[in-house]
Structure 1
């Protein structure tokens, strides 16, 4: 007589813990681990026990009011990102470690720092105040402002957090601290003419200009007082002002911290969309401000890869990530984008110059990295879990 066959358990439940642990070791992308944990209870328990990597690569956030998504540099996969309607349609203008992004819910107002992982939100003002020459603040005089990019000194929700914003208004740079609910505070003097990038580095906001000079703003006192140091960099021998570049050529500049040093990355565009990158390291051999500082060119990027983005550039050690290759430079289409043109064009943001550049020219670039995208709300941005 045939015996009744016992029902088989799902194949996922039958995998030994040792195999699940091996799989998790190769899932260095946080998103991949989330999908792994969603398979079943056994896999979820294994993911909770297995220690996740301490350092994560940023995700490339691809905004869309209808179907936002993100690209994982680990796997090359593009996945849907489930966000609330107000966040999906927002313009993104900054990011910070721990899942934070800065957004404008109505393109030029409704600013807030939002944590896409936890849902936490920190409202940011949309007005600007400028102190007088004596440092007094006229509480009756406020300016409208449009935020282009925001850089934080730390977690946006933490007490004592500071933020610097590249803005379009009566000033082009403004500062904010936790507790300031009504306005940003601008600087009247030492305003950089054309801001290229801002980074928080060694207890101060470093602001890079189109002339490749640097102004450092550091907090002082309990209120939002900011000391400033200007570095008029010695001009490199082949430097040319942007207005004197040959027809069809342009350059954009980024600041990146790498191995305790401050780097300036130049992205150069030529005719027929030719791209070229140069990397310089800030040298303060002269000490202090003034003209003693200079940019020293680096002709190699040993052991590192760069991810470029306004206010959110990062350098990573290739030894920590199997998917990164030495000398790879991932860049976004945020070099010279004109917000006013986007708004006049129905708030469409075409991105046609994204890509991966091989600084050492020793390998092929990633094929799955998107070269272009178009969104009705925002340019792509690096999202750091």
Structure 2
């Protein structure tokens, strides 16, 4: 039987060199003492230049691509806790600053916490990566307005070579586009449907869902191929979530109408487009009043209305949605959906809106501040301003 701790040092070095994200190197070194001794830690003193992208019309911006990983931190048994029971683990988003230092973010609000990885012992704290996310930001740190969701395409794209960097994006509340570094304009992937809601990487491919609940996949040639029948759900916003290997559509019911791609075109027309865009940014969006969840029966090609998530928790973030079992976390409970109220208003990743919890058992929605126990699933740190 092969013992992972006995792998040759040369092989461990080869594996570590293929890890692009710094937290992956730290997680690699935290497996055991022999792995830690075989691979040097990543440098935190060397400044790493950010990935600058000059985005063309209709998203005209000098942007920075921010890559993050959503992780579950498993605490050691002797971890100090104010509660009677020791915590199991918490959720956190891990990213890098423009100086190459690791930073912790709240998985939902994207706000930077005040904790530092330097204070963590990676042999004691185990990091389990649950998902990855991308976000386009201005050099000032504010997210690019008009971008709803972005993903690196293809999945193997590396930021080490900006010339090969390509991104998929849902922009202007529904248009699906592709842009490769150096292109003079965006490539619209579907000129007949401007109502796309979400993108997810699933089974090594990218899938998208529109407001009617139709799921499609994007092949390597950037062709959009229908994967499921329309859901025709009555909700106003759809999210894609992978849970236990299955793909789910979360249908969010809103108390009002969403803005559409036409609102952006109207705001960008005329001579006073800056003022119109500013008003569009400040316009309050509708808020969620109910949720329904569906899973596709791939054998029969029909949608199954899910009545309970059981022990699973769905997290609907600005730049990434994912699921986790409540049994692995401290606090909270299963059969719930965490989301941002008024997320459409701040759908460009600004991190605005209060975090709320939807409970499937009675279809109630509560503010997280009114139920502190639900907030314990996140990394227990004070939230500060992002940099």
TM-score (structure 2 length as normaliser): 0.48
The higher radius of gyration belongs to 1
* TM-score normalised per structure 1: 0.48
